[in-house]
Structure 1
Amino acid sequence: MDWSKTKTIFILAFLVLDVYLAMEFFELRDKSDYAIIQEATIEERLEAEGIVYNDLPEDINKSFYITAKSKDFTIEEVAKLEGQRVELPKSSLEGEQSFRTINMLLDKPFPLPDVNTQSKITQFLKDNVISGDQYHYWYTDDQKNSIICIQNYNNRTIFQTKNDHIGMVILYLNEDNEIISYEQSMLEEIKEVEEKESAITALKAIEALYKNNYLTPNSEVVDIEYGYYTHTPLSNQQILAPTWHLIVEKEDKEKEDYYVNALEGDVLQLTE
């Protein structure tokens, strides 16, 4: 036997074995690291990127779509409102007897106090607006010196964009912080679609934003609320999806609104 050749064969065999074992080691290590990353919870991933949120709403056991019809206000019913008069749009047709949106002018300004303002707004809505108990304060538009009130269904908000008013009361103020007029639109004949199922959790809605790259590092979910929303309002019949509405404050303190379908988990719309 040629010992020199045998030694060379053994050395080559061990080298091949070492290369094979090294490849197996690195492959297993990569898989292990990947598994650790995959096992990180959404809470851990959000925390790692400095994304925070406050206390989350409770889970929604039964969730469903709703349908609704845009109300047509008649001249007869608005004429019954005391202390105010309807301002007909210039574009209205002669003899037209109903309107999707009405603009009402108050005979006397309605003052709003500096304290308990929202309760006073609630009182004004109940006493002066058609089905006013179906609306609640939403936000104040300082640029237009107006107050936005939005319609509810079963104590759930019917979310809308600033451009699509399908169930909203806009209160217009003067310089003395008094209501002098308002604009109203409304949904009626609201019905629930029979099929019902559990909604995704509020945390899952946050995760949907995160996975779609809407949450940037060091941002904060400052508010999250369950309600109904349609991102394509129709002229009359509306179909509204159960929806999570999230307000996100970016690192630069700018706020953005997001809507996540509470059944499908899809991000419906981003608005400024």
Structure 2
Amino acid sequence: MHWGQIKSLLILSFLILDVYLFMQFLDKKDQADIGILEQQTSTIEERLNAEDITFKNLPEQEYEEAFISVQQKMFNKDELSSLKLNELQNTYLFNKYFLMSSIKEPIKIEEKASKEEINEIFEELVYYSEEYSYWNWNKELNVLIFFQNKMDRPVYYNQNGLVLLFLNNQNEVTFYTQTMLGDPEPIAEKKKLIKPIRAIETLYQDSELKSGDNISKVNIGFHTRVPFETGVQVFAPIWKVNVNNEKDYFVNAIEGFTFSTDEQEFLEQVIDSALEKVQIPSLDTDRNLEKMMNQLNERLEKTSG
């Protein structure tokens, strides 16, 4: 055999050996990465356990979601007038997308009313009620809050998909305000969402969780990612993490950062915005509208005082 042939065989043999060793390296690296991930998962669980931070029944399903784009929905005045609900109220429409409605016969809400009882009243009173879900009774402002749902998930704290039922001193619903979002459209490819344990870990690393805390519930929903003045908004999928049945945190389920919304501040902004929307000449001649405006002003004065 000539030296040239031997040399070629040696080079080919070393090349095959290099490829084999490289494949072995990649395989061991993948196993090491998996081991690191498993170690990280167990580490956060151990750290939470050491701090007596408890949780249970986390969603196990793996989700893939995309950012969605949603436009403001315009109400149709003729359509509203044709609905039976219109007989129960005097409805006012501003700029086609903001609705205020005065209830002809105020409806009592019992102090200890269940979520189901509140929803029953809501369904009989509010236009397109099936689009919304009950969130909370803010006792300081005496307001019932309902968030609109998109893709069967709530859109948290968004002024453009919201119903507020305003109660008087006898806990009677006297009027409400309503906005509504249109149909959602995905604006990017779906991405795998971080798991709930990762969302909890993010809160822990941000020092939002304290020793003895209990993670009461973890739910998926949407939150405003990018607002636009044109009425088009981008919503990101988020994990809502409730701590001690008291405070809610939101973790962006794609990008992984945390944020929270102050409910009181949000409601004050909504009320202030409502007052701006209905500043029209007809206010002086419409008694129902004037009463609603006065109640909104009283609530703002109460919070600022």
User: When the two structures are superposed, what TM-score results if normalisation uses the length of structure 2?
Assistant: 0.64
Give the alignment partner of residue 229 of structure 1, picking from 223, 228, 231. 223
Structure that is richer in helix per residue: 2
* Aligned match for 2:130, one of 113, 133, 146: 133
1:57 aligned residue: 59
Counterpart pick for 2:75 among 62, 67, 73: 73
Aligned equivalent of 2:161, options 167, 170, 175: 167
- Output the CA distance in 2 between the equivalents of 1:213 and 1:119: 35
CA–CA distance in structure 1, aligned partners of residues 226 and 190 of structure 2: 22
Q: Tell me the CA shift for residue 215 of structure 1.
A: 2.0
Task: Using the TM superposition, give the Cα deviation of residue 74 of structure 1 relative to its aligned residue in structure 2, in angstroms.
Answer: 4.4
Tell me by how many angstroms 1:69 deviates: 0.9
Whole-angstrom CA distance in 1 between matches of 2:137 and 2:56: 23
Cα shift at 1:136 = 1.2
Does residue 249 of structure 2 align to residue 258 of structure 1?
A: yes
1:190 aligns with 2:180: no
The count of aligned residue pairs is 220
Partner residue of 2:261 out of 257, 260, 271: 271
- Structure 1 119/270 Cα, relative in aligned 2: closer, same or farther at 3 Å? closer
d(CA) in 2 for partners of 1:217, 1:189: 42
Q: 1:216 aligns with which of 191, 210, 217?
A: 210
One-letter amino acid of the structure 1 residue matched with residue 261 of structure 2: T
In the alignment, the residues of structure 2 paired with residue 246 and residue 271 of structure 1 have an alpha-carbon distance, to the nearest angstrom, of 12
Q: Against the structure 1 CA distance between its residues 232 and 193, is the aligned structure 2 distance closer, same or farther, given a 3 Å change threshold?
A: closer
Alignment of 1:29-178 (within 5 A): 41-80=43-82, 81-87=86-92, 98-113=95-110, 117-160=114-157, 164-178=158-172
- SS of corresponding position for 2:204: helix
Which shifted more, 42-51 or 188-197? 188-197
TM-score by length of 1: 0.71
Q: How far 1:150 moved relative to its partner?
A: 1.0
- Structure 1 residues 143 and 70, CA, compared in 2 at 3 Å: closer, same or farther? same
Report if the CA contact (8 A) 2:225-2:236 is conserved.
no
Aligned equivalent of 1:240: 235
Other structure's SS at 1:56 match: coil
Cα distance in 1 for residues equivalent to 2:46 and 2:58: 16
| Structure 2 unaligned residues grouped into runs of 5+ | 1-35, 263-305
Identical counterparts, % of pairs: 30
**Superposition map of 1:16-27 within 5 A:** none
For residue 232 of structure 1, report the CA deviation from its aligned partner: 4.7
Given that residues 74 and 98 in structure 1 are in contact (C-alpha distance below 8 angstroms), is that contact kept between their aligned partners in structure 2? Answer: no
Report the AA paired with residue 191 of structure 1: E
* Alpha-carbon spacing, 1:78–1:120, altered in 2? closer, same or farther (3 Å): same
* Mapped contact 1:79–1:85 kept (Cα < 8 A): no
Q: Deviations over 1:183-218 (max 9, x none)?
A: 111111212345113211111100111122222333
User: Per-residue displacement from partner, 1:165-199 (whole Å, max 9, x unpaired)?
Assistant: 22111111233332221111111121234511321
- 1:57–1:224 contact (8 Å) kept in structure 2: yes
Computed over aligned residues only, the root mean square deviation of the Cα atoms, in angstroms, reads 2.6
Provide the residue aligned with 2:26 in structure 1: none
- Report the Cα offset of residue 73 of structure 1: 2.8
- Tell me how far apart the structure 2 counterparts of residues 193 and 266 of structure 1 sit (CA, whole Å): 20
Deviation at 1:108, TM superposition (A): 1.0
Structure 1 residue 118: Cα displacement: 2.6
Q: Secondary structure at the match of 1:128?
A: coil
For 1:166 and 1:60, locate their aligned partners in 2 and report how far apart those are by CA, in whole Å.
Answer: 29
